Amino acid sequence: MNNLKTFLFFQVYVVADLKVDDVIYSDIKQRNNDSVITPENWESLKDTFFEQRMETYKDSYSITEKINLELKLIDEMQIESTDYIVIRERYRQYLMDWSIAKPTKQEEPVTLQSLFHDEKMVTPCIDVLKHCEPPLIDEDFNFIGHEHNAICVWISEMKKQQLMKKPKNRKVYPMVISQVIKNFNLDESMFSEKRFHKRAEDDYREQFETKLKSIKQTQLSQKG
């Protein structure tokens, strides 16, 4: 039982296709075989794991309070598996290092690049805005589209495909986007997950989904 609780704790959520009764549902947030944290994949999953664990606490808690609660939680774990003893100690060290050496890690990003999990994905993801139909930016990064809300759909799809981190405050989006896209201005409220931009969704969501998935696959094949 102890090992089961630990197994369920040390996992991350991933977005992937889900097959239920021979029906495939695309891009479902879930835990699957790729979710399980091991000593071998710890380095690649540790940041995602930390971010998702922090999201389990109330927003009203400070980051220091969240980390202290997390340390108390893992200290109380009764672990029998050697692998999970190793993972727990790595996570404990991660939390301690974060507290001591990275006190500003959760500060709002100041560049679009800092919002991405992998900075190599920034340029191809921006290029999607040039190659969609109708295009939203030109080769000089001037905004040339009629649907400003399409940028919100672009951001939403990148988060959905786990290309982009979720910042603490959505006011970051217009700030960093304006640093990259010229002649573009949109109120932060338009980036709320509760907003539904029907025309922009209809015109661009499927395009963004297809193009961003292709970018991810190309990146994964290059790593392989």
98-133 tens-digit pLDDT = 877 654 444 555 788 889 988 889 999 999 999 999
Cβ-contact 195, 105 below 8 angstroms: no
CA end-to-end span of the chain = 36
What are residue 116's DSSP bridge partners? Answer: 164
Distance of CA 30 to the CA centre of its chain: 14
CA angle 24, 28, 30 (to 5 degrees): 115
pLDDT digits (tens, 9 = 90+) for 132-173: 999 999 999 999 998 888 999 999 999 999 899 888 778 888
Closest by Cα among 33, 171, 17, 203 to 107: 171
In the chain, the amino acid numbered 150 is A
**Is the pLDDT score of 223 beyond 80?**
no
pLDDT digits (tens, 9 = 90+) for 49-80: 999 999 999 988 888 899 999 999 999 998 88
Measured CA to CA in angstroms, residue 130 lies from 127, 141, 161 at distances of 5, 8, 19
Structure confidence at residue 2 as a pLDDT band (50, 70, 90):
low
User: Which two three-digit tokens encode residue 81?
Assistant: 């598996």
How buried is residue 100: exposed, middle or buried, by Cβ count under 10 Å (0-12/13-18/19+)? exposed
pLDDT at 131: 95
pLDDT at 210: 95
- Distance CA(175)–CA(123), nearest Å, equals 18
**Is the pLDDT score of 194 beyond 80?**
no
For residues 19-38, average pLDDT:
80
